Amino acid sequence: MPPDKAGIIPRLYPSTGSPVNPSPALNTLRPSACPGLLRIVQALDGGICRIKLAGGSITAMQAHAVADAARAYAGGVIEATNRANLQVRGIGAEQDALIAALLAAGLGPNNAAGDDVRNLMLSPSAGIDPQMLLDTRPLAEQILATLENHPRFHELSAKFAVQLDGGEALAMLEHHHDLWLSAFEQDGDTLLAFGLAGCPGRDAPLAAVRLEQGHALVVAVLEAFLALATAQQTRMRHLVVDNLVSRLSLPLLPAEGFKRPASGALRHLGSYPQRQDNRYYVAVVAPLGRLDSKMLHGAAQLASEYGDGTLRFTPWQGVLLPNLTQPEAVTAGLAQLGFVCSAGQPLARVIACTGSSGCAKGLADTKTDALGLPPGHDVHLSGCSRSCAAAHTAPVTLLAVSPGHYDLYFRDAAQPGFGRLHARNLSIEAASAVLRARPRSNTDD
């Protein structure tokens, strides 16, 4: 098939051999509250379309397509998610046109039924990190192809998620996943430790497998989960893990020597040398997880001008530009576009959900309230108890109870949920005063 006017070859679904018409695809989707590329979910500020990126990566041409679609068919608001994906918000009546534009850019699944289950998170520096033990991208490609094309796996929840970590210095190790795999060295060999319903930065692995067994392990775990789970048991945490592990027929090895502590360093901000000689990556954050079409267009242009024409979105709601030769120029360009580029900036450590400005469940305008917080603390503002913006417990959580008022929690390993309740029904000004009086090290454990 020849390229379209933008020079992009539309993706085909094997069942039809022709470009996807979004309307029939939507009719075949199972009910779910989670947005996808083919399923627009309504919110107070319009429809939401979630674009699941393979390994968080997107080409500059695809980034331009997202920016154009957001401006043409929505409110122009684009969100970087904590699973290294993108969301377009404020979609109006032309949702089919937006979906068609994204599919034409190659951002959809190769199988309509597989869109929900493309939930595989890699480290943003996969393949370029000097500390990595292996390049996880070939294995990730194999796993994603199986998730998209194996009909049995389409029964998984749209929230069911897998993480693959190659031992990189830049890795999100605190987000809980239904299945996680993490590379480590044992007696001179590189193995994959794995765990269920947890994360490699906080939980001990169940066992390990050899690298060549990585794909087979994922398949075996997912098949065992689907065989054991009832309709109400949609996540790995709902099962007795020992029952699942006993069904695995793979040769499992002890994970002795595994250690992957979560790093406190903000390596998702700044410029760092790559494994490749004379190449660097620059990582930045979108303020409160949001960017507009101009910011995405600008980042894509910088990736093309100074790098290899790719961008990688990160689970810190930011973006990484790899394979650069002039990182200083790229950092300056991203700062001019409005990205947070250093740890000292006010919003470098703050995350906030959509809040009452765009979500019917939000009890406060979290995005606006976050602008008044003092810098230097890792703070999560949540408009309700669902904690959509944070996939892990933050050192400080402000849980909205009414407009401009929050319950204040500090993370405590001995306490469930958000941690230890410090005070109830604080105004955002009073909460800010508590944080200003508190040493920063006390909130950054």
CA torsion sign for 26, 30, 34, 36 is negative
Annotate 380-443 with three-state secondary structure: EEECCCCCCCCCCCCCEEEEEEECCEEEEEECCCCCCCCCEEEEEEEEHHHHHHHHHHCCHHHH
For residues 32 and 256, the model is more confident at 256
Query: From the centroid of its chain, how far is CA 231?
Result: 26
List the structure tokens of 77: 């608001």
Contact status, residue 378 vs residue 349, Cβ threshold 8 Å: yes
Identify whether the C-beta of residue 354 lies closer than 8 Å to the C-beta of residue 42.
Answer: no
CA dist 420 and 44 (Å) reads 32
3-state helix, strand, coil in the chain (%, to 5): 30, 25, 45
- Show the CA angle centred on residue 141, arms to residues 57 and 192, nearest 5°: 105
What is the band of 33 on the pLDDT scale with cuts at 50, 70, 90? Answer: confident
Judge whether 307 and 330 are in contact, CB under 8 Å: yes
Quick one: pLDDT band at residue 346, thresholds 50, 70, 90? confident
Please report, for the chain, how many H helices and E strands are present, in that order: 10, 20
Q: What angle do CA 80, 410, 381 make, to 5 degrees?
A: 30
259 Cβ contact list (under 8 Å, min separation 6)? 184
Task: Report the relative pairing of strands 189-198 and 162-165 from DSSP bridges.
Answer: unpaired
Compute the mean pLDDT over every residue in the chain, rounded to the nearest whole number: 90
Cα–Cα distance, 65 to 69 (Å, whole number): 6
Element (H, E) at 101: helix 95-104
| Other CB atoms within 10 A of residue 127 CB | 23
Domains of the chain are 22-114 (3.30.70), 133-166+174-245 (no CATH), 350-443 (3.30.413.10)
Check if the beta carbon of residue 188 is closer than 8 Å to that of residue 226: no
Cα dihedral sign, 300-303-304-310: negative
pLDDT of residue 22: 41
Rounded average pLDDT over 419-443: 87
pLDDT of residue 442: 45
Note the pLDDT of residue 24.
Answer: 39
DSSP string over 180-203: EEEEEEETTEEEEEEEEEE-TTTS
Question: What is the mean pLDDT of the segment spanning 147-166?
Answer: 96
Q: What is the pLDDT of residues 172-205, one digit of tens each?
A: 999 999 999 999 999 999 999 999 999 999 899 9
Contact 332, 192 (CB under 8 A): no
Cα 363 from chain centroid (whole Å): 24
For position 440, what pLDDT does the model report? 64
For residue range 195-235, list pLDDT tens digits in order.
999 999 989 999 999 999 999 999 999 999 999 999 999 99
CB burial of residue 397 (10 Å; 0-12, 13-18, 19+): buried
Q: Which residue would you say has higher pLDDT here, 110 or 37?
A: 37
